[in-house]
Amino acid sequence: MAHPLQLGFQDAMSPIMEELLHFHDHTLMIVFLISTMVLYIITSMMTTKLTHTNTMNAQEVEIIWTILPAIVLITIALPSLRVLYLMDEINNPYLTIKAMGHQWCWTYEYTDYENLEFDSYMIPTQDLPKGYFRLLEVDHRMVVPMESPIRMLISAEDVLHSWAMPSLGVKTDAIPGRLNQTTFTMTRPGIFYGQCSEICGANHSFMPIVVESIPLKHFENWSSLMLS
Amino acid sequence: MAGEGEPGSEKSFKLLGILDVQNIPCARESVLYGSLGSLVAGLGHFLATSRVRRSFHFGMGGFVLTTLGCWVYCRYNHAKLRIQQRIIQEGMRNKILYESSDFDPESKQNKSQGSHS
């Protein structure tokens, strides 16, 4: 989860999020260089005593400030398209999980083998044990096996919701009557937090998402426990 | 989990308030080499021409070009390294999983060497 006053991204927990972080670093460096250059040009223009009151044409500078921005845009666009197509790759998921948005909880369905279905409600602050995160913890976490490609099918039963998990780089709208698909692979074990990202009523801020990533063997034990 | 991000944020140093040179791979080296390139270009031009204003322009241009060049080169190598790390990780995982089974690539290698000899 995010730490207090955090501005940047959370640590990446999936290969796609790692790629997004790297693309962000690349774009940020370009933005930094452009900002530095613009600041310098402004300072330079404000500190000269020279003026030119009879400018008729400026072919050279017009060419430069057309070609250079085009090059900058291509430098940003090519890695961006690469990440975009990486996100759409088909990677033979081992497991399919359905997440249904309700007002105001999520329902997770594991229906590949048996019919496992449970609701995930936020734990109210008054019931929260010590050391747990306020407005982020849920009674039943979505448990997934680590290092396995997972397919998520996301929809909603009533109004628009959005299933968002910053550390996985996933934010997918849950639209009633529509199935949206996203895939991810958890690279490390742990517990990861997200929140509903589409306004859905009074308790929109109180329907968090918690994903727990565990080794496959423990996942099998967990699913047997949940089914019994 | 709340404490994991804090050490990283305490050590961050953001140029112009945006570029965290401590935590972004290759950023620190690029900016340092860029500063060196700026100094060389600006100072060199001034020593050659004694034109102060234009030397500053050259210095600025040198900074941008050197930083960008160093950044692209370093990030390309960093990306190659990450791909190699992923391949090695996958190979190690498969080795442990498939050892002594039919899928073991080492056993296939030994079999093919044995058939050639």
Q: Give CA–CA dist B67/A28, Å, rounded.
A: 13
Number of CB pairs < 8 Å for A and B? 64
CB contact A8 to B (< 8 Å): yes
Give tens-digit pLDDT for A152-181: 999 999 999 999 999 999 999 999 999 999
Q: Give CA–CA dist A151/A20, Å, rounded.
A: 19
Find chain A residues with C-beta within 8 A of B64's C-beta.
33, 36-37
Give residue limits of the domains in chain A: 15-88, 95-227
- State residue B114's pLDDT score: 58
Q: Give CA–CA dist A105/A75, Å, rounded.
A: 42
Instruction: Provide the 8-state DSSP code for A176.
Output: B
Inter-chain touch B2–A22, beta carbons under 8 Å: no
CB atoms within 10 A of CB A107: 16
- State residue B111's pLDDT score: 61
Question: Which residues 10-49 of chain B have a CB within 8 Å of chain A?
Answer: 15-16, 18-20, 24-25, 27, 30
Predicted complex ipTM:
0.79
Tell me the shortest Cα–Cα distance from B115 to chain A, in angstroms: 35
Inter-chain touch A33–B68, beta carbons under 8 Å: yes
Q: Give CA–CA dist A144/A215, Å, rounded.
A: 8
- Evaluate whether A15-88 and A95-227 have a shared fold: no
Q: Cβ distance A191 to A208 under 8 Å? A: no
Find chain B residues with C-beta within 8 A of A25's C-beta.
24-25, 27, 75
CATH architecture of residue range(s) A15-88: Orthogonal Bundle (1.10)
Give tens-digit pLDDT for A98-144: 999 999 999 999 999 888 999 999 999 999 999 999 999 999 999 99
Inter-chain touch B1–A37, beta carbons under 8 Å: no
CB atoms within 10 A of CB A196: 25
Q: Give CA–CA dist A74/A16, Å, rounded.
A: 21
Class of domain A95-227: mainly beta
Give tens-digit pLDDT for A63-80: 999 999 999 999 999 999
Find chain A residues with C-beta within 8 A of B82's C-beta.
18
List average pLDDT for each run of 10 residues in chain B, which is 117 residues long. 43 79 88 95 95 94 94 93 87 77 67 57
- State residue A2's pLDDT score: 85
What are the residues facing B62 on neighbouring strands?
Answer: none
CB contact B2 to A (< 8 Å): yes
